[in-house]
Chains A and B, each alone.
Chain A
Amino acid sequence: FSTFAGEPKWTKQVLTYRLVNYTPDLRPADVNAAIEKALSVWSSVTPLRFIKKDRGDADILISFAARGHNDFIPFDGPGGSLAHAYAPGKDFGGDAHFDEDETWTKSTEGTNLFYVAAHEFGHSLGLSHSKDPNALMYPVYRKYDPSGLLLHQDDIAGIQYLYGPSPNTNNDQRESTEIKDPTDSKNPALPNSCSPNLTFDAVTSFRGEIMFFKDKHIWRKHPAVRTADFELISSFWPQLPPGVDAAYEIPEKDEMVIFKGNEFWVVRGDTILSGYPQKLYTLGFLKDVTKIDAAFHNRNEGKTYYFIADKFWSYDKRSQSMDRKPLLIRDAFPGINGKIDAVFQHENFLYFFSGRKQFEFDLDKKRVTRFLKTNFWFPC
């Protein structure tokens, strides 16, 4: 492996990244997944963590462009140079540029975005090219083999020379989802995603990912990516209090609603919409409802369900009306008894969390189909 002259590297462990634009060759969700997965290749073997920003500056700005594109290295049309990235530093430092004249794919045909991005992010983190033809940091593009291990020992030796190994001591390249929050040394222990006693405050889908809220932190998990990113809630929404009660996504509006006590906020990306928080009763609840335990929005039905103790209310978007009185949870969701902590919808299943238990509920069959551990979604 080799580093750049002077061995530039990032002095912090949590780095931000932002996609400035998208290639028309792939769906935005596929681009997001490829980029996130490419970054997790490096975070899985180092203490580094990556936070996605939707706006403003970021350490690693990612863009697609053809030919000249405001830096000193114009692209050269189809083939030849596919992408380039800059060594760690301010301004251009860390940025990655992808040649829009290539055909970006998520397969072995064309130019695989995940594979090229993983290489380029090696540069963004401080690695130059390797002479080892098996290394990810070898400069020539080889047909992407999804079944193969992407990082070669040479790559791992190089990146750990700069940043050290992953804090996960058994170093089996499994993602440790703990961020040592420097501003939070008084916090006795960070929640561990693999604890058998793991419980959640709230869980929701969010732009193709699943977000697990716990105290001051969230785990972000993309179903297609094995690892989960662990971040502070305040790194996304500084105004939000820790220990939320419930959250749900309205995908068709690209909004997420987050509840704490008798208030709720609506966010889009990392922005809290203006005019929030608002009081619960503005949603149609009786004034004596002071908090909710969990909620989810069923996009197919156009209905939102709010769970309180052993009952639930539902709001029908079409008739724009809230149930006049709550119904028993077990009547509509047989097998789900008593209070729940959190619930979210993934494909045609609901996942109910109650203490250390998780219930998979089939919306078609109207019954519980699996009992799961709460850490089922993490690489434990």
Chain B
Amino acid sequence: FPAGTRQTKEEGMQLIQKYLENYYGFKKDGELLVWKSNNAMTQKLKEMQEFFGLEVTGKLDSATLDLVQKRRCGLPDVAG
């Protein structure tokens, strides 16, 4: 990928990881942050997309990226 796009992609990855850690109880367990259809990150991302009524793709699409940048309450969306 051209560097610019890759960098944006990494920033998006960090944003979504932080969001899922803060509000969906995601715990990075050391595994590399790569998209595998069944890994914990993807599951949490689907949970978040379902909560907000987004299309449940498990992928970091623009609607999801847009939402994680909005101001919000600091409390998690899932019990915990």
Contact = CB atoms under 8 A, between A and B. Distances in A.
Interface of A: 2, 4-5, 73, 75, 79-85, 99, 102, 111, 116, 119-120, 123, 128-129, 131, 133, 139-141
Contacts of A128: 75, 77, 79
B75 A84 contact: yes
21 contacts: A2-B79, A75-B74, A79-B71, A80-B72, A81-B22, A81-B71, A81-B74, A82-B72, A83-B73, A84-B73, A84-B74, A111-B71, A116-B73, A129-B51, A131-B51, A131-B53, A139-B72, A140-B67, A140-B71, A141-B72, A141-B73
B18 to A, nearest CB: 8
A128 B75 CA distance: 8
B23 interface: yes
Contact of A120 (B23, B67, B73, B80): B73
Residue in B51, B52, B70, B75 whose Cβ sees the most chain A Cβ within 10 Å: B75
Contacts of B53: 131, 133
Contacts of B80: 5
Interface of B: 22-23, 51-53, 67, 69-75, 77, 79-80
What are the nearest 9 A-B pairs in CB distance? A84-B74, A81-B74, A141-B71, A5-B79, A140-B72, A84-B75, A139-B73, A139-B72, A129-B77
Contacts of B77: 128-129, 139
Contacts of A140: 52, 67, 70-72
B51 A81 contact: no
A82 B51 contact: no
B24 to A, nearest CB: 11
A171 B7 CA distance: 55
A58 B74 CA distance: 22
Contacts of A80: 71-72
Contacts of B69: 79
Contacts of B52: 131, 140
B74 A82 contact: yes
A124 to B, nearest CB: 11
B73 A129 contact: yes
B79 to A, nearest CB: 4
Nearest to A84: B74
